[in-house]
Structure 1
Amino acid sequence: MRTECHLGAVQGSAIKAVLGPTNTGKTHLAIERMAAHSSGCMGFPLRLLAREVYDRVRAIKGDDAVALITGEERIEPKGARYMCCTAEAMPRDGAGAAFVALDEAQIGADRERGHIFTDRLLNTRGREETMLLGAATLEPLVRQLVPEAEISDRPRFSTLTHIGPRKLSRLPPRSAIVAFSAEQVYAVAEMLRRFRGGAAVVMGALSPETRNKQVALFQNGEVDYIVATDAIGMGLNLDVNHVAFAGLTKFDGVRMRRLLPAEMAQIAGRAGRHQRDGTFGTLSGMNKHGSAPEFTEEEVYAIEEHRFAPLTHLYWREPEPRFDSLDRLIADLETPPSDPALRLAPEAIDLATLKRLAGEPIADTVRGAGKVRRFWEACSLPDFRQRGPDVHARFVARLWQDLAQGYLGADYVAARISELDNMAGDIDTLQGRIAAIRSWAYICQRPDWVMARDEMAARARAVEAKLSDALHARLTERFVNRRTAILMKSLGQDAGMLPIEMSDDGAVSVEGETLGHVEGLRFVVDPAARHEDRRMLLAAAEKALPRLLGERAEALAASDLGEIELRRGKLSWKGETLAELEQRDGTAMPVLKPAREVSALPEGARRKLVTALESWLEKTLEPLQPLEKMHHAASNPDAGSQARALLLNLIAGHGFVTRERAGIEHLPKEMRPFLRKIGVTFGALDIFAPALLKPAPRQLLNALGVDRRPLQDAMLPVIADTKKLPSGYRHAGSQAIRIDLAEKILRAAHETRAKAQAKDRRRKFVLDLALPISIGLEEGNIARLLGNAGFRVQKARPLPEGRFGPPRPDQWEWRPARRKQERQKPAQPREGNAFAALADLVR
């Protein structure tokens, strides 16, 4: 066991603690000091801040001299002498740098990440100078834990003044509104979009790239307001004049509680920049009673005068545990500190994951110090997805299965990254993908986890950048209306009093003046309405559109929806998309994702329209019920792995698969009756569901976008062969034949062969080609099709010259290619076993 305090401090190294409120220039001072040394290392609480300082130091020292190291990104030029890191990625020894700095050191009192900052505060030192940056509340603990430190206080450059509650409509420009839940952030941003033209949005769940772009919207003046969670208080440099609190309570991971005065000041301190003073207050009118959360007199005094109760402890966890065994590792991590100024850190997600997996069979593979250390590193993977300990533990367990064998294969990692390379979806969907790609970016940065690490890391960063761009676009689309933002600067508040009308053809007008027209549920501005003297009319139309579009949507929902079209995975009306269809695992029935125009409708109209569209879709997709049965059977754990594998192949083929690809040699013969009951046909060349080879299901699969092969609308029996085979056909020489009809021909051939052998035991027999000819196959193509199934033809010799009579018939015989012997299983499923359970499911 190691002690908490640093025992081997660099001799002659000066330790300075620079403490004070926000806007005191602490970080700027640290950057200047680092630039004055031959080398340096700085740790930050956020990847965003590390990147910001990295860019600043790079401008001073040059690109080749500065490195950026975070959990998900590593930019390490050869010979770099300065490092900007997140605290977790910061080397404990400071990488031997002459200068070391730790920013926001008071985070040592945070329940989740505090032990990391405490360890860096106690143990990370520069050869020549160490600088600890933080709030003034940290001073007593610095004196107690680092008595050799020289402490200096820095005053705030500007003053903070409390101005009380303000309504959203009365907020001054260049304001930041702080909320403490994603729902509240979205609600405030939506109201600002309607009344003030929009707002930038900043939340901890956003990727750093998206946050940068949203902050740029505010900094560039495209919007005058920014709505954020308390993540805004962690060092973001903004030109904010006023900070409005939408609430004064938050959930801290354990309970709902009121913010501490120091936390309030950290957020309020974003107001004012350099010598410009700032104000703070609360936001009124955010609940049904119209009352606003309010600061107490004591809190106002503390914030304005920067006087707060000092911190009484920091959280600590053994930074160098022993790796003899998992039990020893857990015991070390749960050992309390001996210093009274330190407290044992609450169980963080990494330790929770370790303890969960240590009690499972997977722990049996973890033996020896090397594997225990590697297993702990896997458990330390951050839970970017925020799905909770159980879900995160399952992800880590799957990761360990590969790491225990060595490296993650490049193909496997590339496939996981490719799955996330999808820019479609709403805000929540894109946030989920960004969280997932951040996990893979972290994994790819590990030096001993991934083959072709640099290439995979570059791919992950590229996908994250694309997703961040898409998310920024979605946020801007939803919460920023630039046209309204411009108009509201010159319009009065009476624009909504004008009468707005919409004609049957969708034309929108006010007092006879046309403002534009509605296409589907989307309003298109008439170019003439942009004229300077019609701006008030345009603003009035904006206020009336929810009502007008709501009435139009309700009328559509009450109709028979005969004009709705399903094409390429979308529902359209009058050429405009109403909803996209998102496929789900385990079912053929997609989820309806309303388009932005539908989501923007009033709640009542939106609910009626979505309900009507869902009912229409359910009825329209009835021909796909055979495919749905396959999904249900495949998801049944009692079906058996071989049957599920075949069903999954059929599902992937959208109703058919060749025998070669079906893996049928592994399927027990006694399983076939159960599969036939759900519509599966075992043919000579293909496994298929006849019900899915009809025109209606094939057209639906194509319209849903899940089967993009060429489509034959009428599903003709025989067509000309093409290089790209249409859905539901197989090659037959110069023609292509529908799979079910090909099976009909082959079955008739086998029946003829069986009768011939039963009659005189001869291998050769005469085959009547009337059936394939009547279907439309040419004679040469008939032989090609039958040849694929093992039938061989021996052409009859012509009659000798001068002899007359009917020509001799061709002789056929069946010589199948050798196949692997199908595995034998018990002949009949007995009651209570997996096959009987599948039979019950089919019934």
Structure 2
Amino acid sequence: MRAVLGPTNTGKTHLAIERMCGHSSGMMGFPLRLLAREVYDRVRAIKGDDAVALITGEERIEPPNARYFLCTAEAMDRRGSGANGPHAFVAVDEAQLGADPERGHIFTDRLLNARGRDETMILGSATLEPMIRKLIPRAELVERPRFSTLTHAGSAKLSRLPPRSAVVAFSVEQVYAMAEALRRFRGGAAVVMGALSPETRNRQVELFQNGEVNYIVATDAIGMGLNLDLDHVAFAALTKFDGRRKRRLTPAEMAQIAGRAGRHQRDGSFGTLTGGGSRTGAPLEFTEEEIFAIEEHRFAPLTHLFWREAEPRFDTLATLIGDLEAKPEHEALKPAPQAIDLAVLKRLAEEPIADTVRGSGSVRRFWEACSLPDFRSVGVDSHARFVARLWEDLRGGYLGADFVAARIAELDRVQGDIDTLQGRIAAIRSWAYICQRPDWVLARDEMAARARAVEAKLSDALHARLTERFVNRRTTILMKSLGQDASALPVSLEPDGRVTVEGEPIGRLEGFRFGVDPDATLADRKMLLAAGERALPAILTQRADNLLGERLGELEIAAGAIMWQGRELAKIVMPPDFGEARLEFAREVTMLPDAARARLEAGLSAWLAAQLEPLAPLRKLAEAARDPGAGSEARALLITLIDAGGVVSREKAGLEHLPKEMRPFLRKLGVTFGALDIFAAALLKPAPRRLLHALALDRRPLQEAMLPVLAEQERLPAGYRPAGTQAIRVDLAEKILRAAFDKRAKAGERVTKGEGPQPRKAKAGARFRLDLSLPISIGLEEDNARRLLGSAGFRYHRARDLAEGALGPPAPDSWTWRPRRAGSSGGDARHGREDRGRARSEKPRGARKGPPRKGPPSGDRRPRPPKPDTSPARSGGAFDGLAELLGKKAGE
């Protein structure tokens, strides 16, 4: 047996790996599963996957023909044996942990009992030497010197730490605070804590090892065999809570952590952070004695190791507890303080659940349940309750696969912050441990695989959260690459407009305007601006060529300008003749190199000319308005029509000054002279209306689809006129009114025998019938259709009710038309006289008693019912035929 002792960075673990690989089989025990996993990967690379096994409390990778076993100290066989007997080589790493109050008895037991068939190696600190001499007198002692020197570097501010440094803290809150500060000052840090899963820890360490970050923040877990390329270790605190009290670190503990600085032949340094002193204001400093001890690797030797009976009797719970609390016989050993497994056992032994534990097999199984590690760190009470629930399921046999799968599925969620994910990882570690037990879970291999998969998934999510919160890769790149020369940065433009350096965004091009990333710190902004402006000409040229080549479809016209990605590229200045528009380019476009700017201006001008094509009818009107041969009156009307966007009411058109002989000339230009409006029908289509609105030439509300009828609005879009509680497009209003005038004209025809209908001028005020099916089919409500007709001079007359006792259908309603007075308004809302007449004519039938009043019909009172017309020239619909039939029957 050989004991290899010495400080950190002496190559003890490396030596043990070499010795084990030289034997036919071997087993090594480690204090952390992180370290066991690291060595497992190294040995597997040498011996192959089928020959190497990894066994920890939560994970078991054991090929059938495995010959080399890497284990945590708790998971390794206490005598170093395997299925085929003792292994040829056995080693226990960090054996000085036998003095640890919580886990020391495990390491002491392996130190005393684990033996290899051919070779046994104990690895540990030089402070273990007196214990080796007392407990294993025949062991060969080998002391190995440190490969590099370790020197004290004093105190430093966090912002002035040298690259490749580790900051050590002793609470989660302090770890987070240090990592946040390093993110602001230095671009970020990797985070390593004992609660992390191996996958998360390895990926965080990889960030540091690969140089993506220059700093790492860790708890004292960093002191247990993690091999890092560190140059400096800075202590953020020199005290920690050990589970019982808050105390100052011992020099040996300080050295274990500080010794991570320096790798192989490279020297390292250690120190403290300024501003991390005690609550009394005292600075955070090492004492002279501590500095000497760390630099010279001289520490007080261990005076005892903790021991607990490793093979207790399982007759009863009382016997088991008695054996576990028994005192050791050797003077170098002390009874282990009460660990959480024994505390849980004693707590449950006092409760009614103890009555269910009968027989040695049941007592052994109950002790195994109590030995479940408190991965969640919830304390004795809460952990005892969890064990009690577990025992209720275990005492009847196995845990059902469905039950375990459901518990694992409950934890299979990657949402939440860092603390939430760490809590789920701790919980899944408990179930991973349960699934590794050989006689606890049905379908053990499948459940264990599920638990490992969920832990890996949660670990990936936790790594992402840690990196997102504590690593600013952009700042790290800037610190490494920028220096004093902004042109040294490899700046590139992404398709989505992001400007990046080695894949990290430093800003964004919106249109052709460069903006620094809003998340950048104040210290970074100067570097980002320098990098962006230096590369801007080339980036803008690339941007312009990309726009003209593939992204013209992203351009739009809005607010009288050409817009791209919410930014104005150029204002559009329309000439009075609506000919070729002029572009006034934005300032950022003028920063383009001359050749690129010329190409962009030509391309945008050609694109705009195509976009303005729907305004060709307006351009045609403008050309006619400039023609002196058109006459001043026609030109005045055209100018009025152009200014109004193609639609103007008759009252505002000034038609009284326009000679009638000029109307054909205007109609050829597409101008329609309606009963209420003068308009160019081609400009009532959606495309020209949208374009006029986008060019800021039409300030009225925009109606995208130019629907036939709209609901009532405060401000009407261009091309519509009010019709009661609705609005109708002016060309459709003209269609309705034209049909009404045609109906009135048809009602004025006379019939001559043998000659057919002959036209005659309809008298003003003559009554006729009007079918409202056309406006209703367009979408106008019946009442609103009457109002529209009323605005053009048509008046609605409701037929008189049938006399009481009379048979047959009532007479149909009728209409009259009178020309509006000069200067009257065209809007139906302002036709008070028509509204009043219609309101009186629409009183409920039977509301008025007695004979009708004498006098001619008037809009101010109810009209007399029309006399029956029995002449053969009468024209009508179904009502006329029905009246004639009823008349015949009355004559009979």
Task: Give the TM-score taking structure 2 as reference length.
Answer: 0.55
Report if aligned partners of 1:491, 1:536 keep a CA contact under 8 Å in 2: no
Q: 1:275 aligns with which of 237, 240, 265?
A: 265
SS of 1:165's equivalent in the other structure is strand
Query: What is the rounded CA distance, in whole Å, between the counterparts of 1:152 and 1:381 in structure 2?
Result: 37
Flag the 1:529–1:237 CA change in 2: closer, same or farther, 3 A.
closer
Flag the 1:233–1:265 CA change in 2: closer, same or farther, 3 A.
same
Q: 2:197 aligns with which of 192, 195, 207?
A: 207
Gapped regions of structure 2 (runs ≥ 5): 487-506, 537-892
Report if aligned partners of 1:515, 1:529 keep a CA contact under 8 Å in 2: no
Written as runs of structure 1 = structure 2, the 5 A alignment for 1:657-806 is none
Q: 2:346 aligns with which of 355, 358, 362?
A: 355
Task: Tell me the CA shift for residue 285 of structure 1.
Answer: 2.2
Q: 1:442 aligns with which of 428, 433, 439?
A: 433
Query: What is the rounded CA distance, in whole Å, between the counterparts of 2:23 and 2:246 in structure 1?
Result: 45
1:232-280, Cα deviation, whole Å (9 max, x unpaired): 0000000000000111111111111111111110000000000000011
Task: Tell me the CA shift for residue 306 of structure 1.
Answer: 0.5
Written as runs of structure 1 = structure 2, the 5 A alignment for 1:144-159 is 144-159=134-149
Query: What is the rounded CA distance, in whole Å, between the counterparts of 1:249 and 1:378 in structure 2?
Result: 34
Gapped regions of structure 1 (runs ≥ 5): 1-14, 496-506, 538-843
2:90 matches 1:100: yes
Report if aligned partners of 1:284, 1:290 keep a CA contact under 8 Å in 2: no
SS of 2:154's equivalent in the other structure is coil
Equivalent residue number for residue 193 of structure 1: 183
Match for 2:345: what amino acid?
A: L
Flag the 1:517–1:60 CA change in 2: closer, same or farther, 3 A.
closer
Match for 2:69: what amino acid?
A: M
Report if aligned partners of 1:261, 1:308 keep a CA contact under 8 Å in 2: yes
Written as runs of structure 1 = structure 2, the 5 A alignment for 1:198-597 is 198-286=188-276, 292-489=283-480, 515-516=515-516, 532-534=531-533
Q: 1:78 aligns with which of 64, 80, 91?
A: 64
1:304-349, Cα deviation, whole Å (9 max, x unpaired): 1111000000011010100000000001101111211111111111
Query: What is the rounded CA distance, in whole Å, between the counterparts of 1:517 and 1:130 in structure 2?
Result: 59
Equivalent residue number for residue 88 of structure 1: 74
Report if aligned partners of 1:514, 1:529 keep a CA contact under 8 Å in 2: no
1:118-159, Cα deviation, whole Å (9 max, x unpaired): 000001111111100000000000000011100010000000
Match for 2:445: what amino acid?
A: D
Task: Tell me the CA shift for residue 207 of structure 1.
Answer: 1.3
Report if aligned partners of 1:145, 1:341 keep a CA contact under 8 Å in 2: yes
Higher relative CO (CA 8 A, sep ≥ 6), structure 1 or 2? Answer: 1
Q: 2:116 aligns with which of 107, 123, 126?
A: 126
Query: What is the rounded CA distance, in whole Å, between the counterparts of 1:491 and 1:69 in structure 2?
Result: 47
Query: What is the rounded CA distance, in whole Å, between the counterparts of 1:25 and 1:517 in structure 2?
Result: 47
Equivalent residue number for residue 654 of structure 1: none
Query: What is the rounded CA distance, in whole Å, between the counterparts of 1:430 and 1:202 in structure 2?
Result: 15
Task: Tell me the CA shift for residue 534 of structure 1.
Answer: 4.4
Query: What is the rounded CA distance, in whole Å, between the counterparts of 1:36 and 1:517 in structure 2?
Result: 56
Task: Tell me the CA shift for residue 64 of structure 1.
Answer: 1.0
Query: What is the rounded CA distance, in whole Å, between the counterparts of 2:143 and 2:29 in structure 1?
Result: 20
Query: What is the rounded CA distance, in whole Å, between the counterparts of 1:387 and 1:64 in structure 2?
Result: 38
Report if aligned partners of 1:315, 1:342 keep a CA contact under 8 Å in 2: yes
Query: What is the rounded CA distance, in whole Å, between the counterparts of 1:492 and 1:22 in structure 2?
Result: 35
Match for 1:145: what amino acid?
A: L
SS of 1:270's equivalent in the other structure is coil
Report if aligned partners of 2:276, 2:284 keep a CA contact under 8 Å in 1: no
Task: Tell me the CA shift for residue 59 of structure 1.
Answer: 1.5
Task: Tell me the CA shift for residue 489 of structure 1.
Answer: 3.8
Query: What is the rounded CA distance, in whole Å, between the counterparts of 2:253 and 2:306 in structure 1?
Result: 17
1:355-375, Cα deviation, whole Å (9 max, x unpaired): 111111111010000000000
Match for 2:215: what amino acid?
A: Y
Match for 2:180: what amino acid?
A: E
Query: What is the rounded CA distance, in whole Å, between the counterparts of 2:40 and 2:132 in structure 1?
Result: 27
1:174-232, Cα deviation, whole Å (9 max, x unpaired): 00010111111111100000010000001111111111111000000000000001000
Match for 2:52: what amino acid?
A: V
Task: Tell me the CA shift for residue 290 of structure 1.
Answer: 7.7
Report if aligned partners of 2:275, 2:284 keep a CA contact under 8 Å in 1: no
Flag the 1:121–1:517 CA change in 2: closer, same or farther, 3 A.
closer
Match for 1:462: what amino acid?
A: A
Among the aligned pairs, what percent are the same residue? 78
Match for 1:422: what amino acid?
A: R
Report if aligned partners of 1:317, 1:344 keep a CA contact under 8 Å in 2: yes
Report if aligned partners of 2:237, 2:276 keep a CA contact under 8 Å in 1: no
Flag the 1:517–1:469 CA change in 2: closer, same or farther, 3 A.
closer
Match for 1:113: what amino acid?
A: R
SS of 1:163's equivalent in the other structure is strand
Flag the 1:456–1:535 CA change in 2: closer, same or farther, 3 A.
farther
- Greater mean deviation of Cα atoms: 114-123 or 205-214: 205-214
The structure number with the bigger radius of gyration is 2
Root-mean-square deviation (CA, aligned residues, Å) is: 2.8
1:84-108, Cα deviation, whole Å (9 max, x unpaired): 0000000012121011000000000
Query: What is the rounded CA distance, in whole Å, between the counterparts of 1:330 and 1:441 in structure 2?
Result: 27
Report if aligned partners of 1:283, 1:292 keep a CA contact under 8 Å in 2: no
1:615-669, Cα deviation, whole Å (9 max, x unpaired): xxxxxxxxxxxxxxxxxxxxxxxxxxxxxxxxxxxxxxxxxxxxxxxxxxxxxxx
Report if aligned partners of 1:444, 1:456 keep a CA contact under 8 Å in 2: yes
Report if aligned partners of 2:184, 2:521 keep a CA contact under 8 Å in 1: no
Q: 1:55 aligns with which of 23, 31, 41?
A: 41
Q: 1:32 aligns with which of 18, 21, 31?
A: 18
Task: Tell me the CA shift for residue 286 of structure 1.
Answer: 3.4
Flag the 1:518–1:62 CA change in 2: closer, same or farther, 3 A.
closer
SS of 1:236's equivalent in the other structure is coil
1:370-419, Cα deviation, whole Å (9 max, x unpaired): 00000000000000000111110011000001110000000000000000
SS of 1:130's equivalent in the other structure is strand
Report if aligned partners of 2:165, 2:214 keep a CA contact under 8 Å in 1: yes
Query: What is the rounded CA distance, in whole Å, between the counterparts of 1:348 and 1:142 in structure 2?
Result: 24
1:592-636, Cα deviation, whole Å (9 max, x unpaired): xxxxxxxxxxxxxxxxxxxxxxxxxxxxxxxxxxxxxxxxxxxxx
Query: What is the rounded CA distance, in whole Å, between the counterparts of 1:195 and 1:89 in structure 2?
Result: 43
SS of 1:186's equivalent in the other structure is helix
SS of 1:164's equivalent in the other structure is strand
Q: How many residues align?
A: 508
Written as runs of structure 1 = structure 2, the 5 A alignment for 1:142-181 is 142-181=132-171
Task: Tell me the CA shift for residue 517 of structure 1.
Answer: 7.3
Task: Give the TM-score taking structure 1 as reference length.
Answer: 0.58
Equivalent residue number for residue 571 of structure 1: none
